Amino acid sequence: MADISGLDHKVVIFLEHRNDVFEYLEIRENIHGSHIVIATIPDVCWELEKKGVLYRGIEIYYDSDLIYSQGIKNYETVESICSKIDSVLQESKPELKKYSFKPAFDNFRFLKILFDNLTLRISIIHSIIEREKPDEIITFSSEKRSPSVQNMPFYTPFGLNESIFNILLGINSWNPEIKLLQRKNKSPVNKPAHNRCSLSSSFAGIFRQYRFIYRRVIAIKDFILNPNWNMLEFRYLKLINPICNKKTLFLFRDEPSWIPMNGALYRHGYHVVNLSEITESFSQESDFDITINKQLVEIFRDVCVYRGIDFSQIFEERFFPVLEKYFSYAPEIVQNLKLKIDKYKPVAFLSSEKAFFYEHMYAHIAQSRNIPVIAWQHGDGPFYPPMQIFIEIRDSDVHMSYGPGHQVMLREAPHNHFNSRIESVGSLILEKIYQKNTTIKHENKILYVTAQFYYSNLNVNNYPIPDNTQWHYQKTILNLLGNSQVPTIFKLMPQEYETPLFSEYINENGFTNISLIHFERSFVELLNEADIVICDYPSTPVIEAIAAHKTIFVLLASPHLRTEALTLLKKRVYWSDDVEEFVKLISDYMKGIDVKQSPDMENIEYLEMYGVHKLDGNVSKRALEIIENEVKARS
């Protein structure tokens, strides 16, 4: 806290972007009173530390457990909102009922993230006001809000240059004096990592050609290298010309779970058609009329009030563009998909997570034609957010999970009131990693993988660990590895935003032994180059490293991890739930000092329970059996 003058006047300053730091430094001499600078994201923390400015992290003002619990409760609230919205829309537009289209539920992920962002941050603001009792609050905003869907990365409701606390504090219901200052620097520091919906048409065309050739090469390679194929079975070479294969499967989009199945599917006479290009050139015209608009506004006014703050207008301006896009896409999706169904006569639709509303549309249309929708788990093993129920289980006839532990967890999940059948199949990727049986080298290179940050859009929805706390963990681990001079690969898992934070930290600290990898290579590829793997959160890379027979260190600092899974995981990995103890454990191991833990490198209980079902090499066989049984049941 920086004291300027007039200690009886307390000012809270929210800094939500790195550029806000520079804005604050320019005007801080003119802000009367004692300053409480609050950093909401790691980029701001890092910039303030470099400038020598005292600050408080936003995470000290709330209990992560309470925020997480509120986020869980919000599922029921958002489900209720979706039901009311869809009831109004289906009554006004009977054609929606024909295909069971549900515009709100089909955008459930977007709405849940939006509702969480607003309600949970209102709670945090209240906590700050109650604790600090400020006379004044200052926030910085961009020149113009960007509620347009085209400016939203993925399914997130806020644009890169927006400040959510600033938007909420703009509601005229707060007691302290609020000053909303304009951010002069218009360029956002954090860039979208990638955007599936913004490829130019020329690049998209080149990409599709490359993708077509690549798939054929991979399919032929898998076919030829398969030890079970018979040279006399010449008919299988018809995979080179998929038109000759009589049984067609529609794949929603390229998914890690399904891609390794290409060879097996082609060998069994299936032709896979990818549907990702259907939405690449749609018109933006919508018949979303003002009458419906007014009815929905009434719903928003009833449900979008939290702790006395009415955020219905913000909810409306964020959700209406999504609805408009939904209605602009719907006619063309119906028409184009019907044409494809009539042309190819698919026997099943294959999906993984249905992250976008049009993928739920695909499922609705398929089921209206009595075509089964078969989903394969996307990732994350036993530590999943309940969102998985709504984007994988919902609108699937069958969901294939990685293992029996995950299968039971999904069946017993309180939010799973859908009729999808859940079967334990395993992961073909994990099976192939395990079968590769990488030999242990001399443990002279480390692979450190991190989940990065979720910034304003996803951290309160999926992660109980605040971003600033995660940044503290990452710095602590990087400091150990950087000072050790042991060759280290630092792998960033793909996320919504790309930040220069990590490269800056590594360079400014002179950690020349650490190589930073973002999109250049996958984590699975990098597993071949290291023998020690460090994970700061038990997500998908942990189970991939177990399958690759690596020595693994896992930080288990999250308070919301499944007990049954942790019990098995701790048999196989080195672990700690405290970051200081965690880095000491790693340091002692690297120095050859005896450590108390002695995980069993040969233990496969966790891998079988949450990864491959059984280590019998039959993942693809089990998946094929489910596909064929579903097809036969409808023939």
What is the distance in angstroms between the CA of the first residue and the CA of the last residue of the chain?
A: 71
Stated pTM of the model: 0.87
**Distance separating alpha carbons of residues 61 and 38, to the nearest angstrom:** 10
Can you list the residues of the chain whose pLDDT is less than 50?
1-5, 148-151, 153, 187-189, 194-208, 210-212, 214-215, 219, 227-241, 458-460
SS3 state of residue 4: strand
Phi, psi of 442, deg, nearest 5 = -115, 15
* C-alpha distance from residue 445 to each of 217, 341, 364, 502 (Å): 32, 51, 49, 19
pLDDT score recorded for residue 4? 42
pLDDT score recorded for residue 237? 41
pLDDT score recorded for residue 191? 54
Identify the structural domains of the chain with CATH numbers, from first to last: 201-282+329-432+614-634 (3.40.50.2000), 438-612 (3.40.50)
pLDDT score recorded for residue 246? 73
pLDDT score recorded for residue 413? 83
Give the type of residue at 516.
L
CB contact at 8 A, 164 and 121: yes
**Distance separating alpha carbons of residues 457 and 45, to the nearest angstrom:** 18
pLDDT score recorded for residue 388? 86
Residue keyed to tokens 């017993």: 412
CB contact at 8 A, 124 and 169: no
pLDDT score recorded for residue 337? 94
Residue keyed to tokens 């779970």: 257
pLDDT score recorded for residue 542? 94
- The candidate with the shortest Cα–Cα distance to 458, out of 494, 495, 410, is 495
pLDDT score recorded for residue 462? 52
β 346-351/247-251 pair status: parallel
β 191-192/497-498 pair status: antiparallel
138 secondary structure, DSSP code:
E
**Distance separating alpha carbons of residues 314 and 34, to the nearest angstrom:** 32
pLDDT score recorded for residue 381? 53
pLDDT score recorded for residue 3? 42
pLDDT score recorded for residue 437? 67
CB contact at 8 A, 573 and 561: no
From the number of C-beta atoms within 10 Å of its C-beta (0-12, 13-18, 19+), residue 165 rates as buried
